[in-house]
């Protein structure tokens, strides 16, 4: 599936629900679906807050079903992350107010694999995957 929308907070819920519904094609538990929705919410929120600094631009959410896992990619064409390794650490944030800077930490905790491709002014693409426990547990 592929969903593209402007980087506004109103659209984050839509992205969660779309990926959650798509993911249900695999034998995830309800708790695992909630974890996927949380990770999507964090990734899309990061794009909404950071990518287009004061302006609005496109955010794309794509997902793929493989026999044993779900892959999700959240992409923007915004200003990029200067230092991805720095950004991956908890409380390392360039955010104002009460955001905690833990979105990427949460994604890493709740998804199996996370990869971020980003460079200044070249946009950001976050890829994450999750396998259902039921599939991983098979002998």
Partner 1 sequence: MQIQAERSGQALVVRLAGELDLHTAPAFREAVDKRLRADARIRHLVLVMDEVTFVDSSGIGVLLGRGKQVLSRGGRVVAVGLRPHLQKLFTFTGLTRLFEMVQDERQALQGL
* Token pair in block for residue 129: 């995957």
The rounded distance, in Å, linking the Cα atoms of 137 and 112 is: 14
Q: At what angle do helices 12-23 and 30-50 cross, to 10 degrees?
A: 150
Which strands, in side-by-side order, build the sheet including 58-66?
Answer: 2-6, 58-66, 69-76, 124-130, 113-118
Whole-number minimum distance, CB 67 to partner 1, in Å? 26
The active-site residue out of 99, 115, 134, 136 is 99
Q: Does 45 bind partner 1 (CB under 8 A)?
A: yes
Which of 41, 129 has the CB closer to partner 1? Answer: 41
Q: What DSSP line would sit under 80-137, residue for residue?
A: --S-HHHHTSTT-----TT--S-HHHHHHHHSSEEEEEE-TTS-EEEEEEE--HHHHT
Which of 7, 129 has the CB closer to partner 1? Answer: 7
Binders of partner 1 among 91-110, rule CB under 8 A?
Answer: 97-100, 102-103, 106, 109
Q: Does 129 bind partner 1 (CB under 8 A)?
A: no
Whole-number minimum distance, CB 34 to partner 1, in Å? 5
Whole-number minimum distance, CB 62 to partner 1, in Å? 20
Q: Does 16 bind partner 1 (CB under 8 A)?
A: yes
Residues labelled as active-site residues: 42, 46, 99
């Amino acid at each position: 599936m592929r969903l593209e929308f402007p980087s506004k907070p109103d659209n984050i819920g839509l992205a969660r629900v779309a990926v959650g519904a798509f993911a249900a094609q695999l034998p995830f538990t309800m708790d695992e679906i909630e974890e996927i929705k949380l990770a999507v919410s964090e990734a899309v929120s990061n794009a909404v807050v950071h990518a287009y600094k004061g302006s609005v631009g496109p955010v794309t959410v794509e997902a793929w079903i493989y026999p044993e896992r779900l892959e999700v990619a959240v992409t923007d064409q915004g200003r990029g992350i200067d230092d991805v390794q720095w950004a991956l650490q908890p409380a390392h944030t360039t955010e104002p107010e009460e955001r905690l800077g833990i979105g990427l930490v949460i994604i890493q905790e709740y998804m199996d694999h996370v990869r971020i491709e980003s460079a200044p002014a070249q946009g950001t693409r976050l890829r994450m995957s999750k396998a259902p426990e039921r599939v991983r547990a098979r002998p």
